């Protein structure tokens, strides 16, 4: 029996159209994923430098796909019994002589088999996808990798998902609620997965994830590229346990289904109310009790609602006679009455939506997600004050839910009458044409509004009740959620309803709606021009800042809103005209009918709307393309490539250096205009005469150049505005040592708005102007060729005909050694004026400030030379001033962000003390910290310039430091940035590989030492632990090659994360003073010196010179190579000695590995000094000393005074070790 059913069902499944559609979809995704070699694009998983068919990728891809395409399984497996109910042929089956197990089992397993076949499409996609790309991306296909994925990941996942939804659908006999549950469970899974992603309890993480994704993550956490490429996923105890646990759960679910299922035509009314099962099976699954009882009511019906049986009713039937005529009534046909009818329709529809279990479920999940995200935080991440803008960032999570319910309910609402066969009853009621459509649309919008209001209430509730925070910004809530977001959802609702109105059935409507959404999301990635006016309902990106508010984004947002609103209204009108209002539902008929009904009123409305829409579109286009220039991403890349091709030839031509910068800047923050006048003093610092001067200045920000003038006769021989390059020929060559004055005068005007070049740094409050070399020369002219503008490999140099190069220059490069990213040392003078309400800040010393013509003027000056990396700020700032040891510390901050100013000052003081004591006295008199708005996207944290640092509002100003759980990240940033005044602004490294080791790693060194003084050893160790984990985790996603620390090139995980671990280890071996002696010598030799500039080699040399011979190997291990240790305490036993002391016999093992840039490891002999530690009660240090470990396995005997509890090797993880837990063991004995 089973076989017959199974075979028949399998055949049916394989014949179904969805079988092929699903297989093709899976194939395509797998193909795209496997063949995707563009590094910027991630389809499902990022391959980086690893092989695209690496075993762990195949496993992870299939695991993720089995979850993402969960609805495929719901359809194939979940529907296998329910379709009988839908087709109403269940009675035929139920009367056949067969047993339940054969029927259910046959259907279920046929579904599982067919579904497995579908996923074979994905495997095929991987293989074919790999075959079309360059062989360097592909390794040999390992059959065992595919088999592992198939039998341990894919099939179990299908069985687990299939069994749950099969049971749900079979017992409820309802497919739509099963789909909704599918989506809801998917969401819940993502939330829970996010929740447990951070847990350090790896066993739990592995077992709790039913789909094996957690397992794959845990086991490959620290894998290097080499390991990813070649290692098979280990078949360990954990994955077997995981599969056993979850498959047993599915079996239980299936058995439950079998026991509850009955061959009955209609669900029994007097079913056994088995509360126990309900509570055991249903509730723990979800915790959203009420909803499940609602769902549960289908198979645990509430007894109070009796179904009236036909027979009983008939017997009671009496012939009714002699009734009077219907009481007379008045029919009110007035407009008010029509409105009332409309309101009535809206209310009834709205009620049906909000009491729908899917709505309740999804809303609860959405609110939970927002709440959990808002109140939770990652380990090592700081807790922010619950300010409204932070909350609103988290509310963005509601997006997917709101889109989902808008989609679902647009279908339900539009098709409701037809689904319940009451359409004919409604269609013959005399209602105005617009009313049915309008009422349905409004009910959807009301639903969206109510969800958003719920978000606002949740936010206020959390702020007030949970946090006791009472600065409620109701206006901001309303502007952001109602003024911006609600409109977005409205546009979607209009679109979905339009589609549903035209579609031939609900599911076609859903499909088309989803397709439109997907296409809308994909298209922008492939189209490289301004399509913002064609992406229906898409608003420009905006950033809300607590300093700047919505600022200059307001205008662009309003115009796009007007544009889309007009279009949405046009669609509403068309949708109304085409409304399905009789049994003539064919589109052709409706079009014809619409043409007949297209009366004056419609014509007028449509033309007014269309004119408004087009006008708004023209105005937006005028702003984006006429007032401002629109440059696409590829145009920009092409510009950079052309710049390099045309002008790299001038890189080595001697150019004068800047020795003095003088600026007169007039800032107009209210209309975002800046007028800059000034001059450079240029000096020929080379040994050669200079004939030509190259000036770079971008037209991206500069609107108009009024003057470019030199103090000697000069001829402009090339002006390439496109590529920011001009060549001036000196009539009289500039001799070595000679000087020249270069005057400039230009205007930066903001005209209208631009989606392409919004100039976010020119904020109304918190304007920032810089001249950093890493950016195109936007605000101040640059001298000479700018190598930092060259395209990096990551952005496809090859595509533009440029040779592949390493971004940085090798350590012995002669040009590199004579250039520095910190540029010339200059003296600087600036007079900056700004609006009366604002303060302007720049580098140097404030010599005078005054008010004139209703404007504030600030005169800054410095006589001691500083790096030519300048920044100008202007904003409405509060100022906190403190004098400390002759240093003038000033913090410029927003009045609402006063929370952590003292911590910033503490950090500055701490690093100031540390550096001036250990390296050199601070050169300047001032140190200013300026808060900048987050709309300056260049800056995510803080950035140091001479005498100043700019600090983003999000990176610490609103951190809540009054708690024990989260770390204080403000003090470390302040100390780190202060340290850059020495490491970066005093010692200026050469522009070669490893420059960031000199700058960032040394700043990390100061930072960690300050933290240790401030927060104690324990917190410092905790901090280092996460830095090491971060380093180890980042290795696998390296996109070029991991470098030894001193060669790091643009690799933050090396210079910051590994760097701090390594210098801390060095300190552990040779002592803090020795490290600082070495660093002091570097500051002494290279501080404020011009070329040649120091490199990481110079630092290593200095370290070596302070390290005893016996320990010098550690410098090689930490800085010059990639070295990893595998230390393990095997066992520790203890015997009590006669004198009351304890003897510990400790056995340890130790392995030392060298890795290459791709993570291929070779074992090298151990011959190292390592900590051996023994700990008593409460982690008391009983013994901690470095022992020389010369063999891989060693027994050590140590006598301690107190009772030992734990013992081990390198217990504090000074050395880099992937397996930290096994470094110590419990001491046995006694």
Partner 1 sequence: MNLEVRNLSKTYANGVIALKNISLDIPTGMFGLLGPNGAGKTTLMRIVATLLEADSGNIHLGNINIRKEKNRLKKVLSYLPQEFGFYPKARAYDLLDHFAMLKGIKDRKNRKQVIEHLLKRVNLWDVRKQKLGTFSGGMKQRFGIAQALLGNPQLIIVDEPTAGLDPAERNRFHNLLSEIGEDIVVILSTHIVEDVSVLCTNMAVINKGEIVLQEKPLNVLSDLKGRIWEKKIEKMKFSDYEKKYNVISTRLFSGKTFIRIYNEENPDNGFSPCQPALEDGYFYHLNKN
- Which is nearer to partner 1, 413 or 486 (by Cβ)? 413
CB of 602 to partner 1, least distance (A): 15
Q: What is the DSSP letter of 721?
A: T
Q: Which residue from 605, 587, 783 is spatially nearest to 682, judged by alpha carbons?
A: 783
Q: According to CB under 8 A, which one of 91, 198, 332, 722 is a site residue for partner 1?
A: 332
- 266 interacts with partner 1 by CB under 8 A: no
- 593 interacts with partner 1 by CB under 8 A: yes
- Which is nearer to partner 1, 431 or 1039 (by Cβ)? 431
Q: According to CB under 8 A, which one of 276, 318, 803, 895 is a site residue for partner 1?
A: 318
Is residue 154 classed as helix, strand or coil in its secondary structure? helix
Could you give the CA distance from residue 522 to residue 266 in angstroms, rounded to a whole number? 46
CB of 509 to partner 1, least distance (A): 20
Q: According to CB under 8 A, which one of 325, 600, 803, 895 is a site residue for partner 1?
A: 325
Task: Give the chain's largest Cα–Cα span.
Answer: 123
- 309 interacts with partner 1 by CB under 8 A: yes
Could you give the CA distance from residue 1102 to residue 527 in angstroms, rounded to a whole number? 53
- Cα dihedral 518/521/526/532 (nearest 10): 130
Could you give the CA distance from residue 998 to residue 65 in angstroms, rounded to a whole number? 44
Q: According to CB under 8 A, which one of 143, 317, 965, 1017 is a site residue for partner 1?
A: 317
Q: Rounded to a whole number, what is the distance in angstroms from the first to the last CA of the chain? A: 66
Within 10 A of 880 (CB to CB), how many other CB atoms are there?
16
- 863 interacts with partner 1 by CB under 8 A: no
Interacting span for partner 1 (CB under 8 A) from 103-111, 155-163, 320-328, 797-805: 320-328
- 324 interacts with partner 1 by CB under 8 A: yes
Q: According to CB under 8 A, which one of 91, 198, 268, 340 is a site residue for partner 1?
A: 340
Contacts (Cβ under 8 Å, ≥6 apart) of 63: 149, 153, 154, 157, 211, 212, 213, 216
- 339 interacts with partner 1 by CB under 8 A: no
Q: According to CB under 8 A, which one of 135, 266, 321, 687 is a site residue for partner 1?
A: 321
Instruction: Enumerate the β-bridge partners of residue 720.
Output: 725
Interacting span for partner 1 (CB under 8 A) from 92-100, 303-311, 610-618, 1104-1112: 303-311
- 586 interacts with partner 1 by CB under 8 A: yes
Token pair 């095929």 is found at: 124
- Which is nearer to partner 1, 427 or 960 (by Cβ)? 427
Contact 151, 29 (CB under 8 A): no
- Which is nearer to partner 1, 131 or 337 (by Cβ)? 337
Look at the alpha carbons of 897, 900, 901, 904 in this order and tell me if their dihedral is positive or negative: negative
- 534 interacts with partner 1 by CB under 8 A: no
- 595 interacts with partner 1 by CB under 8 A: no
Contact 953, 545 (CB under 8 A): yes
CB of 319 to partner 1, least distance (A): 6
CB of 308 to partner 1, least distance (A): 6
Q: According to CB under 8 A, which one of 272, 320, 965, 1017 is a site residue for partner 1?
A: 320
Tokens of 211: 């789909």
CB of 291 to partner 1, least distance (A): 16
Could you give the CA distance from residue 1066 to residue 812 in angstroms, rounded to a whole number? 25
Within 10 A of 1207 (CB to CB), how many other CB atoms are there?
29
Q: According to CB under 8 A, which one of 4, 203, 259, 422 is a site residue for partner 1?
A: 422
- Which is nearer to partner 1, 601 or 1141 (by Cβ)? 601
Interacting span for partner 1 (CB under 8 A) from 47-55, 221-229, 418-426, 773-781: 418-426
Q: Is 77 exposed, middle or buried, given 0-12, 13-18 or 19+ CB atoms closer than 10 A?
A: buried
Tokens of 337: 């009455």
CB of 268 to partner 1, least distance (A): 15
CB of 569 to partner 1, least distance (A): 24
User: Residues 936 to 995: which contact partner 1 by CB under 8 A?
Assistant: none
- Which is nearer to partner 1, 582 or 1135 (by Cβ)? 582
Within 10 A of 60 (CB to CB), how many other CB atoms are there?
22
- 326 interacts with partner 1 by CB under 8 A: yes
Interacting span for partner 1 (CB under 8 A) from 200-208, 339-347, 464-472, 985-993: 339-347
Q: According to CB under 8 A, which one of 17, 266, 331, 465 is a site residue for partner 1?
A: 331
Look at the alpha carbons of 772, 775, 781, 782 in this order and tell me if their dihedral is positive or negative: positive
Interacting span for partner 1 (CB under 8 A) from 192-200, 218-226, 315-323, 792-800: 315-323
Residues in the chain: 1230
**β 871-875/767-770 pair status:** antiparallel
CB of 295 to partner 1, least distance (A): 15
Q: Count Cα neighbours of 728 within 13 Å in the Cβ-side half-sphere.
A: 23
Q: According to CB under 8 A, which one of 97, 135, 333, 965 is a site residue for partner 1?
A: 333
Contacts (Cβ under 8 Å, ≥6 apart) of 972: 907, 1007, 1010, 1011
Binding mask 424-463 for partner 1 (x = CB under 8 A): xxxxxxxx--------------------------------
Could you give the CA distance from residue 627 to residue 754 in angstroms, rounded to a whole number? 8
- 599 interacts with partner 1 by CB under 8 A: no
- Which is nearer to partner 1, 307 or 465 (by Cβ)? 307
- 344 interacts with partner 1 by CB under 8 A: yes
CB of 351 to partner 1, least distance (A): 10
Binding mask 545-584 for partner 1 (x = CB under 8 A): -------------------------------------xxx
User: Residues 397 to 416: which contact partner 1 by CB under 8 A?
Assistant: 416
- 304 interacts with partner 1 by CB under 8 A: no
Distances (CA, A) of 159 to 60, 247, 942: 17, 7, 50
Could you give the CA distance from residue 30 to residue 556 in angstroms, rounded to a whole number? 39
- Which is nearer to partner 1, 134 or 305 (by Cβ)? 305
Q: What is the DSSP letter of 959?
A: B
Could you give the CA distance from residue 780 to residue 341 in angstroms, rounded to a whole number? 65
Tokens of 881: 């001033």
CB of 580 to partner 1, least distance (A): 11
- Which is nearer to partner 1, 329 or 526 (by Cβ)? 329
- 87 interacts with partner 1 by CB under 8 A: no
Contact 729, 717 (CB under 8 A): yes
CB of 604 to partner 1, least distance (A): 20
Contacts (Cβ under 8 Å, ≥6 apart) of 457: none
- 314 interacts with partner 1 by CB under 8 A: yes
Could you give the CA distance from residue 435 to residue 429 in angstroms, rounded to a whole number? 11
- Which is nearer to partner 1, 92 or 589 (by Cβ)? 589
Binding mask 12-51 for partner 1 (x = CB under 8 A): ----------------------------------------
Q: What is the DSSP string of 1049-1102?
A: -S-HIIIIIIHHHHHHHHHHHH-HHHHHHHHHHHHHHHTT--SSPP-HHHHHHH
- Cα dihedral 308/311/315/317 (nearest 10): 60
- 327 interacts with partner 1 by CB under 8 A: yes
- 707 interacts with partner 1 by CB under 8 A: no
- The residues that touch partner 1, with contacts defined as CB under 8 A, are 305-310, 313-314, 317-321, 323-327, 329-333, 337, 340-341, 344-345, 348, 352, 416, 420-422, 424-431, 582-584, 586, 589, 593
């Amino acid at each position: 029996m089973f076989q017959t059913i199974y075979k028949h069902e399998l055949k049916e499944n394989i014949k179904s159209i969805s079988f092929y559609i699903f297989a093709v979809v899976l194939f395509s995704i797998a193909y795209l994923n496997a063949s995707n070699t563009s590094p910027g694009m991630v389809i499902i998983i990022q391959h980086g430098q690893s092989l695209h068919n690496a075993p762990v990728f195949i496993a992870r891809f299939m695991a993720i796909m089995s979850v993402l395409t969960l609805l495929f399984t719901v359809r194939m497996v979940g529907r296998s019994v329910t379709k009988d109910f839908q087709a109403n042929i269940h009675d035929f089956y139920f009367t056949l002589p067969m047993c339940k197990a054969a029927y259910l089992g046959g259907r279920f397993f046929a579904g599982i088999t067919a579904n497995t076949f579908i996923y074979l499409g994905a495997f095929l996609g991987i293989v074919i996808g790999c075959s079309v790309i360059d062989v360097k991306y592909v390794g040999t296909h390992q059959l065992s990798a595919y088999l592992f994925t198939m039998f341990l990941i894919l099939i179990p996942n299908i069985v687990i998902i299939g069994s749950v939804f099969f049971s749900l659908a079979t017992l409820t006999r309802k497919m739509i609620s099963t789909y909704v549950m599918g989506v809801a469970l998917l969401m819940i899974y993502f939330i829970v997965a996010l929740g447990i992603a951070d847990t350090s309890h790896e066993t739990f993480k592995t077992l709790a994830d039913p789909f094996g994704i957690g397992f794959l993550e845990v086991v490959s956490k620290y894998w290097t590229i080499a390991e990813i490429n070649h290692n098979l996923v280990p078949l360990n105890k954990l994955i077997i346990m995981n599969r056993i646990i979850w498959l047993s759960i599915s079996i239980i679910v299936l058995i439950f289904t079998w026991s509850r299922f009955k061959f009955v035509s209609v669900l029994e009314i007097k079913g056994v109310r088995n509360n126990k099962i309900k509570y055991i099976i249903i509730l723990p699954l979800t915790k959203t009790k009420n909803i499940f009882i609602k769902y549960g009511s289908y198979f645990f019906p509430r007894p109070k609602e009796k179904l009236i049986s036909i027979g009983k009713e008939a017997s009671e039937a009496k012939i009714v006679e002699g009734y009077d005529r219907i009481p007379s009534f008045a029919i009110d046909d007035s407009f008010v009455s029509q409105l009332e009818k409309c309101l009535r329709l809206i209310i009834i529809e709205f009620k049906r939506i909000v009491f729908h279990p899917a709505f309740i479920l999804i809303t609860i999940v959405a609110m939970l997600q927002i709440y959990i995200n808002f109140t939770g935080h990652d380990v090592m991440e700081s807790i922010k004050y619950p300010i409204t803008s932070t909350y609103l960032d988290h509310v963005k999570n509601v997006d997917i839910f709101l889109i989902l319910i808008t989609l679902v309910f647009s279908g339900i609402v539009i098709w409701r009458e037809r689904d319940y066969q009451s359409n004919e009853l409604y269609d013959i009621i005399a209602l105005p044409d617009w009313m049915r459509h309008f009422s349905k649309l409004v009910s959807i919008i009301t639903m969206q509004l109510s969800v958003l209001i719920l978000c606002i209430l949740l936010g206020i509730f959390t702020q007030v009740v949970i946090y006791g925070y009472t600065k409620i910004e109701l206006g901001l809530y309303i502007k952001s959620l109602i003024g911006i977001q609600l409109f977005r959802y409205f546009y979607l609702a209009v679109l979905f309803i339009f589609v549903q109105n035209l579609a031939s059935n609900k599911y076609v409507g859903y499909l088309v709606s989803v397709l439109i959404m997907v296409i809308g999301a994909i298209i922008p990635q492939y189209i490289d021009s301004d399509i913002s006016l064609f992406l229906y309902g898409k608003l420009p990106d905006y950033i809300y800042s607590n300093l700047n508010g919505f600022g200059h984004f307001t205008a662009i947002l309003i115009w796009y809103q007007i544009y889309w609103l007009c279009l949405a209204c046009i669609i509403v009108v068309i949708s109304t005209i085409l409304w399905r209002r009789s049994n003539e539902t064919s589109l052709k008929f409706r079009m014809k009918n619409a043409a007949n009904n297209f009366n004056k009123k419609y014509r007028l409305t449509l033309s007014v709307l269309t004119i408004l829409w087009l006008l708004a579109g023209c105005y937006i286009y005028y702003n984006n393309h006429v007032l401002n220039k629109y440059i696409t991403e590829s145009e920009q890349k092409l510009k950079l490539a052309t710049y390099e091709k045309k002008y790299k030839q001038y890189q080595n031509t001697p150019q004068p250096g800047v020795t003095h910068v003088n600026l007169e800047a007039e800032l107009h923050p209210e209309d975002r205009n800046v007028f800059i006048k000034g001059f450079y003093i240029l000096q020929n610092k080379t040994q050669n005469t200079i004939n030509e001067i190259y000036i770079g200045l971008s037209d991206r920000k500069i609107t108009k150049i009024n003057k470019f003038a030199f103090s000697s006769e000069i001829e402009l021989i090339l002006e390439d505005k496109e590529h920011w390059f001009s060549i001036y020929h000196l009539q009289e060559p500039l001799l070595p040592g000679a000087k020249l004055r270069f005057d400039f005068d230009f205007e930066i005007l903001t005209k209208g708005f631009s989606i392409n070049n919004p100039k976010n740094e020119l904020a109304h409050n918190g304007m920032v102007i810089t001249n950093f070399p890493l950016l195109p020369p936007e605000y101040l002219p640059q001298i000479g060729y700018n190598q930092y503008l060259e395209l990096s490999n990551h952005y496809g140099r090859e595509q533009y005909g440029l040779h592949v190069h390493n971004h940085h220059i090798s350590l012995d490069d002669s040009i590199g050694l004579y250039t520095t990213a910190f540029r010339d040392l200059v003296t600087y003078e600036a007079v900056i004026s700004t609006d009366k309400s604002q303060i302007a800040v720049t580098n140097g010393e404030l010599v005078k400030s005054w008010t004139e013509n209703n404007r504030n003027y600030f005169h800054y000056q410095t006589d001691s030379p500083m790096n030519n990396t300048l920044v100008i700020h202007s904003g409405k700032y509060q100022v906190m001033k403190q004098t400390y040891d002759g240093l003038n510390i000033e913090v410029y901050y927003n009045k609402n962000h006063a929370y952590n100013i003292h911590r910033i000052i503490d950090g500055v003081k701490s690093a100031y003390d540390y550096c001036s004591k250990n390296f050199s006295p601070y050169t300047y008199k001032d140190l200013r910290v300026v808060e900048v708005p987050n709309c300056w996207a260049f800056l995510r944290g803080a950035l140091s310039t001479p005498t100043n640092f700019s600090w983003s509002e999000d990176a610490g100003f609103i951190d809540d430091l009054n708690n024990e759980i989260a770390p204080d990240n403000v003090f470390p940033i302040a100390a780190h940035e202060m340290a850059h005044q020495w490491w970066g602004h005093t010692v200026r490294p050469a522009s070669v590989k490893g420059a960031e080791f000199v700058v960032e790693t040394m700043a990390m060194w100061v930072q960690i030492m300050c933290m240790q003084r401030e927060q104690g050893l324990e917190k410092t160790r905790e901090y280092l632990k996460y830095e090491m984990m971060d380093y180890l985790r980042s290795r696998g996603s390296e996109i070029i090659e991991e470098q030894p620390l001193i060669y790091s090139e643009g690799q933050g995980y090396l210079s910051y994360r590994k760097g701090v671990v390594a210098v801390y280890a060095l300190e552990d071996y040779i002592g803090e003073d020795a490290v600082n002696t070495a660093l002091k010598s570097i500051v002494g030799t290279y501080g404020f010196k011009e070329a040649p500039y120091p490199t990481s080699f110079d630092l290593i040399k200095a370290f070596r010179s302070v390290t005893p011979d016996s320990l010098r190997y550690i410098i090689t291990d930490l800085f010059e190579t990639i070295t990893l240790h595998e230390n393990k305490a095997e066992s520790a036993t203890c015997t009590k000695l006669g004198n009351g002391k304890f003897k510990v016999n400790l056995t340890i093992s130790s392995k030392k590995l060298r890795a290459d840039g791709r993570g291929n490891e070779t074992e090298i002999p151990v011959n190292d000094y390592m900590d051996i530690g023994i700990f008593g009660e409460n982690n008391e240090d009983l013994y901690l000393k470095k022992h020389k470990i010369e063999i891989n396995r060693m027994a050590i005997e140590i006598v301690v005074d107190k009772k030992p509890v734990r013992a081990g090797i390198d217990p504090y993880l000074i050395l880099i070790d992937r397996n930290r837990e096994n470094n110590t063991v419990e001491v046995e004995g006694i």
